[in-house]
Structure 1
Amino acid sequence: MCEKPKLTYFNGRGRMESIRWLMAASGVEFEEKFLETREQYLKLIKDGCLLFDQVPLVEMDGLKLVQTKAILSYLAGKYNLYGKDLKERAQIDMYAEGTLDITSMMLMYPFCPPEQKKAQCASIIEKVTTRYLPVYEKAFKQHGQEFLVGNCFSWADVQLIEIILMLEELKCDILAQFPQLQAFKARACNIPTIKKFLQPGSPRKPPPDEPYVAKVKKILALN
């Protein structure tokens, strides 16, 4: 029996959450090791586990995988969520990188000074609703299919449902102008593996709070 993949990160969303989502959507069980101290993090570096001295770290198939996009690409290929040919893979990459752009904005938001959060939230919502969500809405409207590429569930769809749910935490009606995305959300949330991941007690992490932000800053020695 193969060992479960081992995920090493902070006990929160961050850059690992998209990896958790993709594994969960693939029906893959995994184990997690949470960094609680700076000493644990420095030991990973000293032991040569982190190619660029950064987490997340995923250990599986005899590999120590780092760099979020590389990990996601590996998982998508391994679990048949990467299209049927190079053209579909390129389309999936484009859509997935768009959602990763949004993820990057969302990752920085909890670390903003309190006095900047209102403006930062408004900026994220403006960019997302004018630049990103219209692209996905148009894609579904044009091809009339259930999923973004080739009418097959892919990495791009997993990323999209993850980011939709995160954005709704900022603005509950953010999909009000996007009926195609509303329908996609309903479909995606009923996929058995995703439905399971959305249930209480799953490895899905809650929105980052102040104690989580403080711990991350302490471990990484951020000012």
Structure 2
Amino acid sequence: MAHKYKLTYLGVRGRGESTMMLLAAHGEEYEDYRVDLDKAQEETRKSPQGTLPYLTIDGNTTVAQWMAINRYFAREFSMYGQTNLEALFIDEIVDTCVTLLEQAEKASAIRDENKKKEAVKTFTHEIAHKYLRFLESSIVSRVGEKETGFAVGSKLSLADIMIFNVIETGRLEGELVEYPRVTVSREKVLENERIAMWLKIRP
């Protein structure tokens, strides 16, 4: 029996994008419910943990924690590796992306414009490269005799989605010269026809 999904999120691009990319890659139908910033506090009361995004399943079950939601869909859509070992490799990359994303959010959340500008500069040119090196190293260490271009294994996975998401959210497209495997992983996401179409029409 197919489930009915509703994803509730702010009307801005951020963490929820990775979930919607997973849904797009699978061609899954769902309700994309966007919340205006001035109504966000009211909407969080409906979330089990008072956070956005949250997922509603079949109209009555709500789940918070965006990465729990991502991992659920990745498993449902066979985008979590073909073996437990591949799933472990995916988790290594995903957790690195989450840490990098948190660093990007921390810099962009600073209210003082001068301090924010300096923090974003430090993030982009120093902090981000530390984690991009980690990602590049993880991908390189898993590449076997048959290189596919994907971060893990021979097909698109949550790892590739998260790499794309953190690069976009952190505005790191111009920082990838030293990281060819990360670059190719990002390009593999763009090669997915369903995701490419969704990226063109997303809010």
Deviations 1:21-44 (A, max 9, x none): 222222223322233376674366
Aligned position for 1:118: 117
In the TM superposition, 1:1-223 aligns within 5 A as 4-36=4-36, 41-42=41-42, 45=45, 49-61=46-58, 63-113=61-111, 114-125=113-124, 126-129=126-129, 131-142=130-141, 143=143, 144-167=147-170, 169=171, 171-199=172-200, 201-203=201-203
TM-score of the two chains, using structure 2 as the length reference:
0.82
The offset of 1:99, in angstroms, is 0.7
Share of identical aligned residues, percent? 24
SS at match of 1:147: coil
The letter for the 2-side match of 1:158 is I
Between the aligned partners of 1:54 and 1:132, the Cα distance in structure 2 is 26
Larger RCO: Structure 1 or Structure 2 (Cα < 8 Å, ≥ 6 residues apart)? 1
The offset of 1:4, in angstroms, is 4.8
| Number of matched pairs | 196
Q: Say if 1:97 and 1:43 are closer, same or farther in 2 by CA, change over 3 A.
A: closer
Between the aligned partners of 2:4 and 2:199, the Cα distance in structure 1 is 21
Conservation of the 8 A alpha-carbon contact between 1:25 and 1:158:
no
Unpaired segments ≥5 residues, structure 2: none
Unpaired segments ≥5 residues, structure 1: 204-223
Between the aligned partners of 1:35 and 1:193, the Cα distance in structure 2 is 25
Moved over 4 A (4+): 1-4, 37-40
Q: Say if 1:108 and 1:59 are closer, same or farther in 2 by CA, change over 3 A.
A: same
